Structure 1
Amino acid sequence: MKSKIRFIICLLYGLIFINAGLNFFFGYMPPPDHLPDKMQKMNAAFMGIGWILPLVACVQIVGGVLFIIPRLRFIGAIMLFPVLIGILLTHLSAAPEGLPLALILLGINLWIMYEHREKLRLMIK
């Protein structure tokens, strides 16, 4: 039962990131109309860089797929961790109303990384 719940959580988590990455490329979800000015300026700055948002979208897609596959879940968690830190910092500085979801996503990622802490220790050694 515990493994089924873990799989469902990881499946939904992975699908969230796959959806976010695909939405960048295909634009099937319109952006919210009520974005704060600070957030609009940040988005414009990132779009001005040109290469960073497509890279983040690719990492989201690949990391989301890896997160769904139990054998590769740890690699997906490591790939998505910097993206989650960026999401968290963005919401801390520009749009605090999205902070609860960002903290939940970060918590799930840290939970999976904690479950695979032995692999993480080997990487850090």
Structure 2
Amino acid sequence: MKIIKLIICLLFGLMFINAGLDKFFHYMPMPEMKPEQAKIFEAFNQLFWLIPLVGAVEILGGLLFIFPKTRALGAIVILPVMVGIVIHNFTMDKSPMGMSIAGLLFLINLWMIIDNKEKYRALLK
């Protein structure tokens, strides 16, 4: 079970590192967007600091998520981005593939938060 968890966390972290790097280097093709999605994307680009900030959080969270010693911190760092991904996929995109991937990634993130709950107890006191 330990090796499966390690592989899942490695893949999760690498996916977010890749997504974060793409926000800086733009090497992945842009998907087709509905007109309302294009308007939102354009609004995000008007806030010149937002996309680089999300990219930096994705890279940092992905790196932290890979290593067992820092995984608890990585799971918390990446959580706000993950919530945004889930909300976007379930409200705007609504494709079965997108919703299932977002849901699976969200469950992995929650699993690691629950798995590391003892590390968070001091923060809640």
TM range (shorter): over 0.9
| Shift of residue 94, structure 1, vs aligned partner | 1.2
Please state whether the residue corresponding to 2:107 is helix, strand or coil.
helix
Q: What's 2:42 paired with?
A: 44
**Deviation digits for residues 39-89 of structure 1 (CA, Å, limit 9, x no counterpart):** 211111111111111000000001101100110001000000000111111
Distance 1:124 1:115 in 2: 16
Q: Gapped runs of 5+ residues in structure 1?
A: none
Report the TM-score, using the length of structure 1 for normalisation.
Answer: 0.94
What stretches of structure 2 of length at least 5 have no aligned partner?
none
Give the counterpart of 2:56 among 34, 55, 58: 58
Query: Counterpart of 2:54 in structure 1: which amino acid?
Result: V
Task: Indicate the SS of the match to 1:113.
Answer: helix
**2:82 aligned partner:** 84
SS in 2 for 1:29: coil
May I ask how many residue pairs the two structures share in their alignment? Answer: 123
- Of the candidates 71, 74, 81, which is equivalent to residue 72 of structure 2? 74
TM-score, scaled to structure 2: 0.94
Q: CA-atom RMSD, angstroms?
A: 1.0
Aligned equivalent of 1:99 = 99
After TM superposition, the runs of 4+ consecutive aligned structure 1 residues lying more than 3 A away are none
